[in-house]
Amino acid sequence: MRTPLFSFFSAALVPLTAATCANAPQNKQALENLPVKIILVGDSTTAQATGWGGAFCDLHVSPMVACLPLGRGGRSSKTYREEGSWQLALNEMRTPGYAATYVLIELGHNDKNSDPTIGTDIKTVFPENIARFIAEGRAAGAIPVIITPLASRHFRAGKLDDTIAPWAAQVRAVASKAGVPVVDLNRSSEAFYQKLGAVGALSLEVHSPSAAEQLAAASGSTLDGRISDSVPASESVRANDPRRSYQADYIHLNPRGAGAISGLVADGLVQAVPELRGRIR
């Protein structure tokens, strides 16, 4: 039987005190001399090679920060836990020797999946899962920081059409109830993409866009995202579906995109957690 949503929120609302932060020495000088740990939890938008996580750890932390990018491609708030990645993160949170341990959580893109073994319900299971991550992170002695999902780069008539926005709204609501810091990457990346426009945003794709995709972007409206060859033919996705020849997915990031988005995360993090000013660059 699934634990009721209110119990996760209640646990997540417990104040973070010295007693709950097992890794934090009480002497102020000792704190200043110890490193900080930042653990990145999320899906492919957080992972190395396809997201901003690797660039964040490479470019935006000081030498006194241990940065662990634990983003996993294809994972939802359900499967990240089921496959053991969350337990790995919890083990890292419990490791002593740090002035503080922060766990940055960004999930949502794969929760949209219609496959019930991956996706979750936006109004019930998804917010429950995020609240549970917060509660368990606190119990492990870490300081949870919620990151709203990276915006998608679809455009319609020159205006960004962010398909992940409703999930980002759920994340904000959970974080507000739990009283945890929020890096609103969804809104900052929306503004960034809108400024770039459809053509500029297309330059952040992992794979070089096809001529058809470039032409569509030039008109101000992007095509549908690519469908991988690994997706089997079905009534909704034919073997000769033109989307199989597309290259853009309007979500993942090439190195240029990872550098830009990791900068947005770094800027948002020092605003949300002022204690990290001087540790983040």
* 250/20 Cα distance (integer angstroms): 40
Task: Show Cβ contacts of residue 218 under 8 Å, excluding neighbours closer than 6 positions.
Answer: 198, 199
Its pTM stands at 0.85
* 230/221 Cα distance (integer angstroms): 26
Mean pLDDT, consecutive 10-residue stretches, the chain (281 aa), reads 40 40 54 90 97 98 97 98 98 97 98 95 98 98 98 97 97 98 98 98 94 94 71 57 73 97 98 97 94
Inter-residue contact 226 to 247 (CB < 8 Å): yes
What confidence score (pLDDT) does residue 234 get?
62
What confidence score (pLDDT) does residue 222 get?
94
* 148/126 Cα distance (integer angstroms): 13
What confidence score (pLDDT) does residue 7 get?
41
The whole-angstrom distance between residue 141's C-alpha and the CA centroid of its chain comes to: 21
Closest residue by Cα to residue 186 from 149, 211, 219, 152? 149
What confidence score (pLDDT) does residue 224 get?
79
User: How many residues would you count in the chain?
Assistant: 281
What's domain 5-152+164-195+254-276's superfamily in CATH? Answer: SGNH hydrolase (3.40.50.1110)
Closest residue by Cα to residue 251 from 209, 215, 202? 202
Domain segments of the chain as ranges: 5-152+164-195+254-276
What confidence score (pLDDT) does residue 84 get?
98
